[in-house]
C-alpha cells in the first residue's frame, strides 16, 4: 500500500491494456456468479468467485468517470449516462426472470447508474446540483433494500472515484480501505437483512463473500492507482458497447437453460 501513487490521466482516449483485462475479468466473474443457479452443488465456489464482479465494475466505472471529468468530456459523460439509463430499463425484466422468486432488489444496473449520477452531481459547482446530490443520497439510503448491494454499493463507486482523485497518499490509503469495507458491507447486506446470520452454516459463505469482495476492491484500486506505470505486454481484445447488451442477454440465456435443466 505504501507504493500507491496518484493516478495520472494522459487523455480521455488513452487505452490501458490492464483496464481491458479488468473488464474481461469482471464479465467472466459475473457470468460465473450467475451460472451458479445451474450448478447448485457448486454454488458456494461459483458465487464466491462471483464476488469479484461488482467491485470490478465499480472500479471501471469510477476510473472512466475520473478520466472524463478530469478531461472535461461532457459528451462522454452524457453518452455514459444514456447507456446506463437505457440498459437499466432493458435489463430489469431479464433480471427478474433470472431471479425467478419474489421481488427483492433491482438489477445491478441501477446501482451503477445512481453511483454515476452521485459522482457527477458531487463534482458540479452548481448549488442546485449540490442540493440534488444530497436529495439523491438520502433517497438511496431510504430505499437501500431495493437496490442491489444497497447504498453501500452506490457509495462504493464514489469512494473509489475519490481515491483516484485525491493526491495525498494517506487519504488514498484510507479511501481504498473504506472502499473495501463498503464492498464487504454491500455483499453481506442481503445476508444480514435476510436474517441468515442466525444460521451458523451460512457463516463460511459469508466469510468467503467478505474476503473476495474486499480483495477485489483493494487489489483493483491499487492497479488503477498505478495504471500509468503498468506496462502489460498483452494484446487484450477491447470490450465495446456490446457489454451493455451482454448483461440482459446472458441473463435470459441462463434463465432458459435453468428451465431446461430443472
pLDDT per position as a tens digit, 127-148: 999 999 999 999 999 999 999 9
Residue 173 has pLDDT above 90, yes or no: yes
Please indicate whether residue 13 or residue 55 has the higher confidence score (pLDDT): 55
Counting Cβ atoms within 10 Å, is residue 54 exposed (0-12), middle (13-18) or buried (19+)?
A: buried
- Give the pLDDT confidence score for residue 193 in this predicted structure: 84
Give mean pLDDT, residues 65-93.
95
82-92 per-position pLDDT tens digit? 999 999 999 99
Alpha carbons 209 and 211: distance in angstroms, whole number: 6
Residue 8 has pLDDT above 60, yes or no: no
- Give the pLDDT confidence score for residue 99 in this predicted structure: 92
Question: Sign of torsion, CA 152 154 160 163?
Answer: negative
C-alpha cell read off for 169: 497518499
Instruction: State the pLDDT confidence band at 232, using cuts at 50, 70 and 90.
Output: confident
Residues 6+ apart with CB under 8 A from 206: 188, 191, 196, 197
Instruction: State the pLDDT confidence band at 252, using cuts at 50, 70 and 90.
Output: very high
- Give the pLDDT confidence score for residue 42 in this predicted structure: 95
Amino acid at each position: 500500500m505504501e507504493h500507491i501513487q496518484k493516478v495520472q490521466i494522459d487523455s480521455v482516449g488513452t487505452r490501458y491494456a490492464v483496464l481491458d483485462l479488468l473488464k474481461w475479468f469482471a464479465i467472466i466473474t459475473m457470468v460465473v456468479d450467475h451460472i451458479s443457479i445451474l450448478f447448485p452443488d457448486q454454488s458456494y465456489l461459483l458465487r464466491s468467485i462471483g464476488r469479484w464482479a461488482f467491485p470490478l465494475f465499480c472500479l471501471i466505472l469510477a476510473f472512466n468517470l475520473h478520466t472524463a471529468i478530469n478531461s472535461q468530456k461532457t459528451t462522454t459523460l452524457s453518452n455514459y449516462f444514456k447507456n446506463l439509463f437505457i440498459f437499466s430499463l432493458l435489463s430489469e425484466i431479464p433480471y427478474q426472470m433470472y431471479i425467478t422468486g419474489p421481488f427483492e432488489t433491482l438489477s445491478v444496473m441501477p446501482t451503477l447508474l445512481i453511483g454515476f449520477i452521485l459522482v457527477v452531481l458531487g463534482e458540479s459547482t452548481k448549488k442546485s446540483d449540490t442540493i440534488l446530490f444530497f436529495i439523491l443520497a438520502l433517497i438511496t439510503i431510504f430505499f437501500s433494500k431495493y437496490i442491489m448491494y444497497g447504498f453501500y454499493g452506490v457509495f462504493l463507486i464514489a469512494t473509489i472515484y475519490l481515491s483516484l482523485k485525491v493526491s495525498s497518499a494517506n487519504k488514498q490509503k484510507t479511501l481504498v480501505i473504506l472502499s473495501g469495507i463498503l464492498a464487504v458491507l454491500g455483499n453481506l447486506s442481503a445476508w444480514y437483512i435476510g436474517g441468515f446470520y442466525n444460521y451458523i452454516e451460512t457463516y463460511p459463505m459469508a466469510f468467503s463473500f467478505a474476503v473476495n469482495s474486499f480483495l477485489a476492491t483493494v487489489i483493483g484500486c491499487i492497479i488503477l492507482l498505478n495504471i500509468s506505470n503498468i506496462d502489460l505486454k498483452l494484446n487484450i481484445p477491447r470490450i465495446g458497447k456490446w457489454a451493455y447488451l451482454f448483461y440482459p442477454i446472458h441473463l435470459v440465456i441462463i434463465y432458459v437453460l435453468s428451465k431446461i435443466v430443472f
